[in-house]
Structure 1
Amino acid sequence: MDLIAFKHELIDYSQRIGIDKIGFTTADPFVELKARLYQQRTLGYQSGFEEKDIERRTEPRAIMPEARSIISIALAYPTKMENRPKNTREKRRGNFARASWGQDYHDVLRSRMEQLMAFISKHIPDALIESMVDTGALSDRAVAERAGIGFVGKHTNLITKDYGSYVYLGEMLTNIPFHPDQPVENLCGDCNLCVDKCPSGALVQGGQLNAQKCIAFLTQKKDFIPEPYRKLIGNRVYGCDTCQQVCPYNRGMNVHHHMEMEPDPEKVKPELKSLLHMSNRQFRETFGEMAGSWRGKKPIQRNAIIALGNYKDATAVDDLLDCMEKDPRPVIRGTAAWALGEIAKQEPKVYDKVSERLKHALEQEVDPQVLREIKHSLTHLLEK
């Protein structure tokens, strides 16, 4: 088969099925990435969500011994929505990052890659193909960068010429020896906006991410969020877009190519108080198709409680008291105690009520972490 001609056919087909960018690279090891990943591990920068085996992350043939090429694809996603719901004092709202708008992008990309795989198999029946999106061993960004789709910016996201960094990435390992595309030049230059504007200082050394400080990572943790980071979370209930929003290459980017990615305003800007008492079933029915639901409802509810504390929302006091006194989960009880303290410090009309209930909770609580949160709030209220 004429693989040069077939590559062009595959590119044409990818455009017909709604793939915004496609690139090809070899299955050679990712040598520079390997060194950087070992450094990140030594520094304690990793999130714990990634593949633990660095060799598998950087050696494509450790996944598929017959691999000769990697096909990288990118789908652009929207950054603005119509009918944005109002955020009022009576109805404070949270925020899901744009990467969780619409249908779970893992499913959307897998659907496109399944079509690509079928097209390849039709023309090359003995082709070996293995696809992955985000949760696979390989680094989506490293593959896409080497395949010429874009360059990795200082915010660690891939930046494309046509869509900025607002793209989802996936890749396919194959034994077909496609001619590789050339990487593009890194154009960050002296710009340091993303590093300077990162709320928690998680971007370090221009292109390194300390995941342990990253707001997007912290919103996905299931445990208590360290107190110094709670105010930095603001009203985010999942993810963080700050480093992308300030990037010059994202100015004016707002692509609506894929209906599956269009946001439901009420879901991506949810009322915070409505999140607090959702059952598992209600949560799945409301948010189950979104990428931001993958860790379950507890992190979302904890983040909603933090957001209410940051808003100093006195209308949420009864809901938060209910969480502190009745919820079986220590993370929810303790975070509610913190939020109640934040609100009572600023709202005199609820000060006495909150103080008394915190004192009562102190007598009833047995979990040591929750007790620390209650004592912390009481101490700060007494200092007021």
Structure 2
Amino acid sequence: MAYEQLKQEVIAYSKEIGIDKIGFASAEPFAELKARLKEQQELGYASGFEKGTIEERTEPKRLMPGAESLIAIALSYPTRMKNEPKSVKGDRRGMFARASWGTDYHIVLKEKLDKLAAFLQEKLAGFESRSMVDTGELSDRAVAERAGIGFSGKNTLMISPEYGSYIYLGEMITNVPFTPDDTITDGCGTCTKCIDACPTGALVEPGRLNSQACMAFQSLTKGFMPDEHRNKLGNLIYGYETCQVVCPYNRDVDFHHHEEFEPDPELVKPRLLDLLSISNREFKEKFGKMAGSWRGKKPLQRNAILSLAHYKEKAATDKLIELMQQDPRPVIRGTAAWAIGKIGEEKGFDAIEEAMKRESDHEVLVEMEKGLDFRIEHTN
């Protein structure tokens, strides 16, 4: 009874500190997840960003030997912004996916979990815990699902009946034997909108994602983006969210519960040409507090170049020529050459031919050839 009362006190306190949903689960091993993760690995579907071994990711007691229960939390985030700047010809803008709006959610959720831990520490002698948000070994989604936060959708995202999939997740392992909450049964039914809308077929079957093919994953890579993905990025420079946008659970969902997650329109929808000229210091000062900055500026700049190609933005040709000629990074030089060709100005093709005489990097030369191949398309 004492633990049940404590649980109710934790729930009440979680509301006080602005946690939208909280759930409790057992710390038993995640047997089904373990088998699935092994399959993912064998199929080559893992992203490579996962932390820890499969055993550590599915057995809480390996991370904290005294583990008795798990606490899952969820915070909603907004889907619409006020005063959204327009992306127009001559002044094109990119877009950070909604999951990167406002202050980095890792920081915000970790603070909430720290407050919960401090609350429990005061109430209980010998209290032990370990918290994680996204970058820990445990699967946030598996913990949240077991704790009744929501159900795992066919798009592999946690879907809450109240907040849709626009939620951030975090969890805490504790040595307190809290009573587990009931799980929510699958709510997708026969709907396959996310699978049908996935532009690369990354959702290979309901609930299974080939991370390597996912556009959100591709937006984070640091090398050349595969040819077949380049035209699918649109104006997104970080993340990808078609599988969320089409989900019926996300229709008209837009919660503004947390000031920290409110978007700065100029940051989440930045001018693409400005992004190509930004220094490391400026980038850190301007974008450093956003979740989308964690991979550094290079992937974002590569994606910005692809976005300019998507728009066929002729006003960007001179800047792209400058990057192709002078940037020390092969990925930026090569992607710029490809984009110049796609935009299709004659001075751009001439610049590619001239730059090829001085270029020594094989991969960049291949991209320059691809850029020149667009000339046929533009002369027809």
TM-score of the pair, normalised by structure 1: 0.97
**CA displacement at 1:379 relative to structure 2:** 2.6
Amino acid at match of 2:357: E
Measure how far apart 1:125 and its partner are.
2.9
* Residue type of the alignment partner of 1:120: L
- AA of the residue aligned to 2:69: S
Alignment-derived partner of residue 93 in structure 1? 93
**1:244 counterpart SS class:** helix
Deviations, residues 142-201 of structure 1 (Å, cap 9, x unaligned): 000000110000001101111011100000001111010111111101000000001211
Counterpart of 2:190 in structure 1: which amino acid? D
- Give 2:311's aligned residue: 311
Quote the sequence identity (%): 56
Question: Which residue is 1:126 aligned to?
Answer: 126
Match of 2:12 in 1: 12
The aligned amino acid for 2:219 is T
| 1:361 counterpart = 2:355 | yes
Mapping for residues 268-283 of structure 1, pairs under 5 Å:
268-283=268-283
Question: 1:110 and 1:200 mapped to 2: Cα distance?
Answer: 33
**CA apart distance, 1:230:** 0.3
Q: Which runs of 4+ in 1 moved over 3 A?
A: none
1:176-255 alignment, distance < 5 Å: 176-255=176-255
Letter in 2 for 1:376: K
Check conservation: 2:341, 2:373, Cα contact below 8 A. no
Cα distance, 1:204 vs. partner? 1.4
- Summarize the alignment of residues 296-307 of structure 1 with structure 2, pairs less than 5 Å apart: 296-307=296-307
Partner of 1:381: 375
Matching of residues 44-193 of structure 1 within 5 Å: 44-193=44-193
Deviation at residue 335 of structure 1 after TM alignment: 0.3
Tell me which amino acid in the other structure corresponds to 1:288: G
Per-residue Cα deviation, 1:56-97 (whole angstroms, up to 9, x for no partner): 111111111110100000000000010010111021110100
Q: Counterparts of 2:317 and 2:299 in 1: how far apart (Å)?
A: 20
Read off the aligned partner of 2:223 and give its amino acid letter.
Answer: D
Q: Which amino acid aligns with 1:233?
A: L
Structure 1 match to 2:27:
27
Residue identity in the other structure for 1:53: T
Q: CA deviation at 1:52?
A: 4.5
CA distance in 2, matches of 1:65, 1:126: 14
Tell me if structure 1 keeps the 8 A contact 2:198–2:242. Answer: yes
Give the unaligned 5+ runs of structure 2: none
Q: Secondary structure at the match of 2:277?
A: coil
Q: Which residue in 2 is equivalent to 1:347?
A: none
How many positions carry a matched residue from both structures? Answer: 378
Q: Distance in 2 between matches of 1:125 and 1:306?
A: 56
- Is the Cα–Cα contact under 8 Å of residues 68 and 176 in structure 2 kept in the other structure? yes
Which digits, 9 at most, give the CA deviation of each residue in 1:281-322, with x for residues without a partner?
Answer: 010111000000000000000000000011100000011011
AA paired with 1:228? Answer: E
Q: Deviations over 1:19-61 (max 9, x none)?
A: 0000000110001111111111111111111125111111111
**TM-score of the superposition, structure 2-length normalised?**
0.98
Amino acid at match of 2:56: R
SS class of match (1:255): coil
CA distance in 2, matches of 1:379, 1:2: 73
Structure 1 position 380, deviation (Å): 2.9
Deviations 1:109-144 (A, max 9, x none): 011111101100000131111000000000000000
| Alpha-carbon shift at residue 382 of structure 1 (Å) | 4.1
